């Protein structure tokens, strides 16, 4: 500061202008930072759609069919269908199904279910029973069950990968 202003009002003004200048600079940098960071949050998702047609029910054998693209196991027991996610709830690896030598009849959430397989994860060794319940290893949750419907236009099975359902869910065909 070269000279001390004699007038207190002019000192106030200088101080105000200095603070306003610094404030404007901080605001400008702050907003630019916010704008740059916000641009990194995607507005449009190019991920695969969550509602997927997975073929007519007739193509599904009794037992299990694995759909790699959807990372999904689809089970068929006569006319009823249910779908269990193949994504391990620990760290997202794809679990593998092992056929059991002897299918078991179990009651899951009040409904009877024929268990033909069990699942294990190759990454950290989590194990799941045939209804997706986590029994050992680091997996914190059971495997997700997804909602199944029939497409009204061409009668294909439709899975909604964004719609988790309880373990008593069944799609029964007429």
163 binds other proteins per the rule CB under 8 A: no
In this complex, which beta carbon is closest to other proteins, that of residue 2 or of residue 41? 41
What is the C-alpha separation between 164 and 129, in angstroms, rounded? 18
Q: What is the b/e burial string over 133-163, where b = at least 16 CB atoms within 10 angstroms of the residue's CB?
A: bbeebebeebbbbbbbebeeeeeebbbebee
49 binds other proteins per the rule CB under 8 A: no
Assign 34 to helix, strand or coil: helix
Residues 68-127 interacting with other proteins (rule: CB under 8 A): 68-69, 71, 90-94, 96-97, 120-125
- Beta carbon of residue 170, minimum distance to other proteins (angstroms, whole number): 23
Supply φ then ψ for residue 120, to 5 degrees: -140, 150
Contact with other proteins (CB under 8 A) among 141, 149, 166, 173: 141
Q: Which stretches of the chain bind other proteins, using CB under 8 A?
A: 40-42, 45-48, 66, 68-69, 71, 90-94, 96-97, 120-125, 137-141
């Amino acid at each position: 500061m070269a000279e001390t202003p004699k007038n207190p009002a002019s000192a106030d003004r200088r101080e105000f202008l200095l603070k306003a200048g610094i404030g404007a600079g901080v605001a400008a940098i702050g907003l630019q930072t916010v704008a740059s960071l916000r641009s990194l949050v995607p507005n449009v998702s190019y991920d695969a759609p969550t509602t997927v047609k997975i073929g007519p029910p007739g193509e599904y054998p009794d037992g299990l069919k694995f759909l790699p693209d959807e990372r999904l196991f689809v089970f068929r027991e006569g006319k009823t269908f249910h779908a269990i996610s193949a994504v391990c709830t620990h760290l997202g690896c794809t679990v593998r199904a092992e056929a059991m030598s002897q299918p078991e009849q179990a009651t899951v959430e009040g409904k009877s279910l024929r268990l033909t397989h069990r699942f294990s994860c190759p990454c950290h060794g989590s194990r799941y029973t045939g209804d997706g319940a986590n029994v050992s290893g680091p997996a914190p949750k059971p495997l997700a069950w997804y909602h199944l419907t029939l497409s009204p236009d061409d009668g294909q099975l439709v899975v909604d990968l964004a719609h988790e359902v309880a373990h008593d869910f069944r799609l029964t065909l007429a």
